[in-house]
Structure 1
């Protein structure tokens, strides 16, 4: 009898171990009715900010017993799914096990991400996540990058979070102002994510590179507009670009030129004696003095007293003293 008892107990022990392995392989999974953590904070008169600006949920005490039996590794990580929208999944940690049975309290930003309302049903299961090595975040408003040191603020705020899922938008609080931060990209230690699996990493106690994307509402500042019109460009004024048209030949510029003197050469005397050069030549437009008439008699007062002499005659010029200082002008013909 004792042998059979020991055998029975051995069988039961083996069955219990097999059941434990089966539950461990299956993991923790259950459905709950969700509510926002602000309701719990109001009921227990707690600071809602500590509950709201994190990714930690509050489960019933019975869940802790089940998780302990399954020997779930710490930190405990969970995946939350909206049954009405299976693609809406988030990953989180747990803060406390004090919720009413059948209920779970979530930060309100998580409910917004999964399009949940107060009292909706959600599915929660335990999950194991790799440590994150890189994450790129995107503030939703440019107001966040205007604070003194946004990277330090974000690093401190992420201490309240357990996991980051690509595509989610979480919420932080700084100087009594809320900031929404989107998760653009995540990378994990241990290689790329399997195809079809959610891209999510654990950020608890890990060395992780943090990068920023430009805010979602960021607008590139407009540079001063450079005029590109044809009239404002110097090269556009070139006749190569804008022809000047056919030339106008109606007005000849030669008409405006100053008249050239009729004669600019030098004269000579008929008797072969040199001619004294005048100090100043007549300018253009001035009349040239009439040529000296030959073969006429000049009176004492300089007036012409007789008509020109005929060819071959002699011209006499009377001086002031009556002496004759004449000259013969012979006709060359």
Structure 2
């Protein structure tokens, strides 16, 4: 933007950061932007290529600029284009135009435009509930004292039938644990007393 615009804005005491509403008067397309510097020729504004495409502007065409204030954004849903790093803004709150400068804004991503479901994801989505059911701890237990574990080597499923069958085994395991606890003595040193 030209330096004369900055002089005029300084007199008006506008809010910072400076935000401008850009409008193509022919197509009525609107966008918002900040300003990088005030060094353009008098009567001209320089816009990035992507913004000119967004506003359907040709070089040298008329554009109207209006100083504005945008509400701080709280939510935004975007849809990426993975080929050219652009994205569509599908939804914004609290209004259709928001500021994301110095604000905590929740961002949600929609499925990219060029997303294609692969065979692998189709197979994974077709898995039965039986295969995706929660499986508790599947590892092997180890004792801290170095003794062999008395727990079963293979993981067991916690079904009602297996619990009934294992009741007899549990009693035997508990007896073996008690014997191991009696054999194991963690401290075998001698007791000393300081002389008075």
* Match of residue 211 from structure 1: 108
Matched residue SS, 1:124: strand
Matched residue SS, 2:7: helix
* Match of residue 3 from structure 2: 61
* Match of residue 101 from structure 1: 42
**Alpha-carbon shift at residue 82 of structure 1 (Å):** 0.4
Matched residue SS, 1:64: helix
Q: Aligned partners of 1:110 and 1:77: how far apart in 2?
A: 14
2:13 paired with 1:71: yes
Question: How many residues of Structure 1 are paired with residues of Structure 2 in the alignment?
Answer: 121
TM-score (norm 1): 0.35
**Alpha-carbon shift at residue 220 of structure 1 (Å):** 2.7
Q: 2:32 aligns with which of 91, 94, 103?
A: 91
Q: 1:185 aligns with which of 91, 94, 98?
A: 91
Q: 2:62 aligns with which of 121, 145, 157?
A: 121
| Alignment gaps of 5+ in structure 1 | 1-58, 144-177, 194-198, 225-333
* Offset from partner CA, 1:203-225 (integer Å, 9 cap, x none): 1100111111110111233547x
Matched residue SS, 2:13: coil
* Offset from partner CA, 1:208-245 (integer Å, 9 cap, x none): 11111110111233547xxxxxxxxxxxxxxxxxxxxx
Q: Aligned partners of 1:210 and 1:123: how far apart in 2?
A: 30
Matched residue SS, 1:132: coil
Matched residue SS, 1:90: strand
Matched residue SS, 2:35: strand
Matched residue SS, 1:218: coil
| Alignment gaps of 5+ in structure 2 | 124-196
Q: Aligned partners of 1:186 and 1:107: how far apart in 2?
A: 23
Q: Aligned partners of 2:89 and 2:118: how far apart in 1?
A: 25
**Alpha-carbon shift at residue 72 of structure 1 (Å):** 0.5
1:1-333 → structure 2 map (5 Å cutoff): 59-86=1-28, 88-141=29-82, 178-188=84-94, 193=95, 199-222=96-119, 223=122
Instruction: Give the alignment's Cα RMSD to 1 decimal.
Output: 1.4
* Offset from partner CA, 1:67-92 (integer Å, 9 cap, x none): 01111110111100001111x10011
Q: Aligned partners of 2:113 and 2:86: how far apart in 1?
A: 10
Q: Aligned partners of 1:140 and 1:131: how far apart in 2?
A: 25
For the pair shown, the structure with the greater C-alpha radius of gyration is: 1
* Offset from partner CA, 1:258-288 (integer Å, 9 cap, x none): xxxxxxxxxxxxxxxxxxxxxxxxxxxxxxx
* Offset from partner CA, 1:170-194 (integer Å, 9 cap, x none): xxxxxxxx51121111113xxxx4x
